[in-house]
Structures are given as C-alpha cells and as structure tokens.
Chain A
Amino acid sequence: MISLRKIWRYRKGKLAIGILLFFLLVALLADFIANDKPIYCTYQGQSYFPILNEYAAHIGFSEQYTFLRNNAWNDIKLEKSVYPIIKFSSSSIDQNSSSLSSPGATFKSGVLLKQHWLGSDPIGRDVAAGLVHGSRKTILISFFVMLIACMVGFFMGILSGYYGDDTIKVNFWLLLCTMVSICFVWFQWWYVHWSFGFSGVVCVILIGLMSMLNQRITGKQIRLPLDLIIMRLIEIFKSVPALFILLALLAIISKPSMISLIIIIGLLRWSTIARVLRAELLHLKEKKYITSAKALGASDTQIILRHLMPNAISPLLTIIAFGFAGTILIEATISFLGIGLAADEVTWGSILSDARNNFSAWWLAVFPGAAIFLMVIACNFLGDTLNEISIKSD
C-alpha cells in the first residue's frame, strides 16, 4: 500500500503534498482568510466574533448582531478589531473600491484602510479574495467529480475486467423479464412521475431478484458480453471531444448549478479509470493467489475487495491523481469560457476570463492562471510520484 510517508520521500511528492495541503487549508479557512467582517472585535465594551457568528446564524443558532442592522462593518467604529489578511469577501463589492485597481492599491473605506493585495476586477471585486474563495469551489468540484468518476469507473472496470465476457450467464427469459420490468419502472417514472428514489429502489430489487432466481432456474443460459458492451461505450465517449459534449450538455441546462456541473463532468471522466482498472484486473486475476482463493471457496466479492482491489490500487491512484489535474483544467476551461457556474460565482477561470477584455490589467491574467497551474502541477507531481512508487514495488 501507499502511505503518505512513502510519497514524502520523493521531492516531487513533497512539493505536491505541500501545495495541495496549502490549497486545502486555504479552502477550509477561506472565510477567515478573506472576509469583509472582522474575526474578532470589541464594540461598546463587548467582544464579538462576527465570522463565527455568521456560521452559527447559518445553522440557526444565533442571529445577526443588532447594532449592524443598517450599517456595514466598515462604517462602525470598533474599539478593537482583528481583521482577516484580506479584508474582502469574494462576492460583495466594496462601494469605495475602484474597478481594476492595480495590486497593492490602498483606499479608504469608511473607517478602514483597505488594500487590494492582488488588484481588483472590472467591477471592483478583490482578486485575492476571489482566488481564496475560488479554491474552495475548485477543490469541491474536482473532489466530487472524481468521486463520481471513481464510483462509475470502478463499477464498470470490475464488470469488464473481472467478470468479462464469459463469466456471467443468465437465463435468457429471466433476463428478458427483468429488462422489461426495468423498462416498465422507467416508463412509470417518466409518465406517471414516480419518485426517482422509489423507482431506483424497485430497479435494484428487481436486479437482486433476478440474480437470486438465476441460480435456481435451469434452462438455456446466455452469456452477458459485459466487457464488449463497456469497451464500446468507452470508445464512443472517447470519440467526441469532451469539451464539445460538455458545452452542448451545459447549454441545455442553461443555468448549471454546482451539483449538475459535478454530475455532468463526473459522468464524462470515468472512462480512463475503468480502462486502467480493467487492464489491471485482467492481469491480476490470472495470478495464482486468486486461483487459490477461489479454491478455498472465496466469493467474488471477497476476491475483488480483499485480493484484487488492494493490488490494483496503486496504478489506479496514479490515474486518479492525473484525473484530478484534468478535472481542474476542465472546470477552469468552462468557467473561462463563461459556460460554467453562474456569472456572480467567482471561480479561478472566471477571473481569468476578465483579462481577455482588459489587457491593461495583467494581474487578472497572471494570478488566477498561476493558481490553476499550481494545482494542476501539484496533481501531476503526485501522479508521477505514485507512478514511480508503483513501478518500484512491482
């Protein structure tokens, strides 16, 4: 198995862990790094924790401070205050800030002196705050995209690699009945609006019932060419450039939310994982220890989970690390093109796209791009390290 300590031994691995950890921390603590509220302040002798209070208010534990009703934070004279390093939040626009101010520009906002560390964008939002909060979106999106991709990819890879074309045999009539009833459930979902969860549960029960009955029924059995079907599917996915499919799909959902974005990208990215897992399983399942496990009476689930997956995991981790890099790139590309999340949600790609119309504002081009680049290269480093480790251990 691969431990963090092993990765730490490589220079690239060290760099990768460092950069990724940094971005992870920034994403987690985004509200405490870039915010237009103070972290801690005292007002009329009482001390407050405005950011924590906001969290609490979000859950419903507390309410907004009464003295704030009609004021913004920068209008109130606080006796003592500890502000975050970046005194802006990503979306709110400071009225006193000017658009496209260059990095380091300071200005007076109410009683505060604020500074755009990395400049501001065409409508006066702070770039540094955008980067900090953008890292949260990038990490969230790429994590869940890869989660979906892994789930689908593992499932498909095991089906095509372990079971293959010849293993699964089903009674023809049973299969037909199951297919027809699944189609029936789908039909009800479509026309009578059965709930999605209910239909899903019914389908799962149907498939379970089929596999149970299949062992009891004797009769003409046909083999399911799972490998063939899945490989064809992957081929089709490969044949249309991902960006084109993505653009067409996103255009149909004219305003994609984070969740729909994640699902769409995730469903486009499973094919590499499935292919690598398939190749790995094809190679591993011929090993002697698998035969012995089978001879000892281990079930398929046991063999896959206990014996095959732990051995197949290291090339998979490599592919997943590179997959992260690709996902970050794709997400950045579509928000750069303006088709990703809604326009008021600041992402790295959306800040970068502002640079296209403002040539004089070099900071809009350099910083968000550098952030994307750092993330991508950290993932690549991680992938390289994992690859080296898995080659060495073979």
Chain B
Amino acid sequence: MFIPSIILIGVFTFFLFHASPADPIDSLLRIEGFENDVMSDKQYQSQYKRIAKELELDLPKFYFGIVPTYYPDTLYKVIDKQKRNRIKELLRHHNDWSTVSAFLNQGKILLAKLEGKDLKREVNDLLNIKDPNFFSTALNSDIKVEQALKETDFFSYAQILGRQKKRGFAIPKFLWFGTNNQFHSWVSSFFSGSLGRSIQDGRPVWNKISKALGWTVFLVLIGLVLALLISIPLGVWNATIVSSRWSRILNNIFYFIYAMPLFWFATLMVVFFTTSQYGDWTNIFPGVGISPYSGDLSTSGRILANSKQLILPVFCIVLNSVAYLSSIVKNSIIAESNQAYKTTALLKGLTKRATFWKHLFPNSILPLLTIIIGTIPASLSGSLVIEVIFNIPGIGRLMFDSIFGNDWYVIFSIVMLVGIATIISYLIGDILYAYLNPKIRFGRSKKVG
C-alpha cells in the first residue's frame, strides 16, 4: 500500500509537470546567456537541442503511447511544445502525416530561401497557423507568389492542406518505447538525488531544496516538540479540573485559538508586535525576515544566528497546535477514566496518583501518536504560510517563490518529496503504534478491530 501510493503520486506529479505551460529550455538558455534575438537561428537551435538532451526532453514521455494511426511514431522528437501542438493541430484537420510533413519540409526550405526577404514573416505565419481554413484565403489574396514560391511545392501542399480531410473519429495505435523514456529517467534520477536544474537561476534543484529543508524541518519539529511539552501537562491539568470554571475558560480560549486562521494570527502579531508604531511597548519582537546572506554558515548555523527572528513564527505555530493537542489529551484522558480498569486498579488498592500515572496516562497518550502523525500534512501547510509571512527560506517559501517564477522542476520535486515524506511518516507512525500498543500485533489476520 505504500509503494503504489508513491508510484501514483509520481505519475500524477509527472503529468502535471508536463501540463505546465512554460518552456524550461528557453528559460535555461536565457540564464546561460543565449538570447533568441542575439544569435542566429541555427546557433539557437543547436543550443536548444543541447539543453533538451541534457534535460532528456528529446525522449518519449512514458513507457508507451497511444496515438491515432495517422500520427508519426516519433512525434516526441519535436521538442518545442508549441511546434508540437501546431503539428498536432494540422494533423487533426488533415489526417495524413505524409502531406503535413511534406508541407512542413517545404516550408522549411522556403524559409531558408527567403532569408532576409519581406515574405518570410508571412510564410512563417502560414506555417504557424492554427485554423487550416486560413490556407485557402491567405494563399489567394495575401501572399504574392514570387519566384521562390514557384520553385518549391509549398504552395501546392498548402492548397492540399486547405482542403480539409479528416475523419470523425481516430483509430488508436499502440506505441512501445521501452525504458528509455522521460518518466523512467525522471523517477530514477529523482531517487538517485539529481532533481534537475532550477530554471530561475540554473542551480541544481537538490541544492536549493536541501538548503530550504533544514528550516522547514526545524519549524515543524520544534513546533511539535514545544507544543507537546506544553499541551500534555496542560491537557492533564485540564482533565483534572474538568467542569470547573477554569476549565471552561481554558476550553473556550482554546476553541477560539483553534478556529483562528493561522495566517491571520501571524499577520496580527507581525503588524502589532514588531514595530513601535502602536506605542513603545509593542515593539517586542524583532522585525520579519531572515538575513538573506549567510556567509559560509550552514543551515543550522543560520538558524542559530537568526534565532531571535524565529521566536515569533515558532510562537504562532506552537499556539495553534497547543490549542488542538491539549484538548485531544484532555478528551482522551476523560474517556479513559470512564473505563472499568480504572475502578479495578483503585479497588486493587492503588492510590489515585499511581492509577493515573501507571494506567490512565499511558493509555490516553497513545492515541496522540496517530493524531500527531496525522497532523503532519497540515503542519507542512501551516509552515508554508508562516514561512511566507515571516520570510523564512524554507520549503514552503521555496515552493511559493517557484510558483511565481514558473520553476516547475523545483515545484514538482517539492510536491513529490513532501508526498513521500508524509507517506513514510504515516508508515513510521503505524509501526510505532503497533510497537507501543500491546493490543495490536501485525499478524496474518485479515481484519483488525
């Protein structure tokens, strides 16, 4: 159940990645200093092919493909997404690959001949056109047929394409590509730790992620540990004074804190308690933001160096989860104290204190484990919001920045990584639970409980 989930997440992520509109090659070329308009077409094309080869975009996408019979077998070799979509559009309106390819070839030859002439743009328009009806009108009126046009068959092919020839349905054809495909190499390189290059700055994705990972792990872990340290005693205390006035007040406070949107609370704290705008005493916490340059400090060093800036974000995270966890602790203690074994222990002669610590407490803390593991996705989401508000360079912030930079390699590596981390933590949680709880043993019995 664990492997199929990861595989499905991988497939899902991969196809999302390919549905994304941006062209990674173009952006990478720009980072390396190759601009489309500075260099000649030929140079650009060769550089384009080099990057495509490096990113393995010149391979087929998946292990197999199912395409209409009139498609060529090697359409994947057209790397440029726009160009490929154009060819698909032409094929959709004219179900004959030989005509379409001849038309495109003639167009290429014609373009080479027209180098530097006015007509070039018009022919280009014609090659790029989406609506094939355009051919009949455009050829008759706009384009003056010059010598160049007569020398190639471009015109006649365009006329053929102008007469649509399409069927109402397509017959599928199965293509097998083998393991030499993008998905295979993407997955295998993912698990060997090379996640590609960021198209924002050309740095390896793993470099960026590993730097950010420390911050997020720190935030989530420290938030969890502190929250547990506070909420367990608080919950126990709350359970002992249940149905007193203090308990009611505490419950109400926690109820409101829990319902409070984390991003609102954090924004309020930032607005009111990091400046002296609202009176001298309100300037309690240092301003928002981690100093961007680290020198040669590692992530842990940077966390230490910026520990003052981290007080407020950690406080926000902890407060939110204390409200949740302590009420869980309280409820589970109350539920356990209604069990018969409590009476047994008391009748056996144990003191109230001993009954509580030996029997009640361990039993009521155990469910907390599952709940904590269950909150991991939520706390990662919470960490994203906190990182964005407080400018902490963690995974969430990286994801956020990458979305605005169309940096798909980073985005999908993060989604995949977060998914795997969550699944693994669920697994660990299950194992720990079974290990700690003598009532559950993994056996051959089909259904437990």
- Chain A residues at the B interface, C-beta cutoff of 8 Å: 184, 187-188, 191-194, 232, 235-236, 238-245, 247-249, 251-252, 254, 325, 329, 332-333, 336-337, 339, 352, 355-356, 359-360, 362, 365-366, 369, 372-373, 376-377, 380
Contact = CB atoms under 8 A, between A and B. Distances in A.
Nearest to B385: A333
Interface string B11-24: 00000100111000
B377 A337 contact: no
B9 A236 contact: yes
B271 A355 contact: yes
B264 interface: yes
A187 B66 contact: yes
A367 to B, nearest CB: 11
B411 interface: yes
B432 interface: no
Contacts of B259: 325, 373, 376-377, 380
Q: Which of A238, A247, A336 has the most CB of B within 10 A?
A: A247
A369 B261 contact: yes
A145 to B, nearest CB: 17
Interface of B: 1, 4-5, 8-9, 16, 19-21, 66-68, 92, 166-170, 172, 255-256, 259-261, 263-264, 267-268, 270-272, 274-275, 277-278, 377-378, 380-381, 384-385, 388-389, 399-400, 403, 406, 411-412, 414-415, 418-419, 422-423, 426
Contacts of A249: 16
A250 to B, nearest CB: 8
29 contacts: A192-B68, A192-B166, A192-B169, A235-B1, A236-B5, A239-B377, A240-B418, A241-B381, A241-B422, A242-B377, A243-B385, A244-B418, A247-B384, A248-B403, A248-B411, A248-B415, A249-B16, A251-B403, A332-B261, A332-B263, A339-B403, A352-B264, A355-B267, A355-B271, A359-B277, A365-B268, A373-B261, A376-B259, A380-B255
Contacts of B271: 355, 359, 362, 365
Nearest to B287: A359
B374 to A, nearest CB: 8
Main secondary structure of the interface of B (DSSP, over half): helix
A171 B67 CA distance: 29
A244 B92 contact: no
Contacts of A192: 68, 92, 166-170
A343 to B, nearest CB: 12
Contacts of B411: 247-248, 251
A111 B24 CA distance: 55
B205 to A, nearest CB: 15
A360 B68 CA distance: 61
Q: Which of B8, B92, B271 has the most CB of A within 10 A?
A: B271
A148 B423 CA distance: 27
A333 B383 CA distance: 12
A241 B264 CA distance: 20
Given A184-B172, A329-B261, 9 more contacts: A192-B168, A193-B92, A236-B9, A239-B9, A241-B384, A243-B384, A247-B400, A336-B263, A359-B270
Contact of A240 (B4, B9, B19, B274): B9
Contacts of A243: 380-381, 384-385
B19 A248 contact: no
A41 B172 CA distance: 67
A355 B172 CA distance: 55
The 10 closest A-B pairs by CB, nearest first: A369-B264, A243-B381, A241-B377, A240-B419, A251-B403, A365-B271, A241-B380, A241-B381, A377-B259, A239-B422
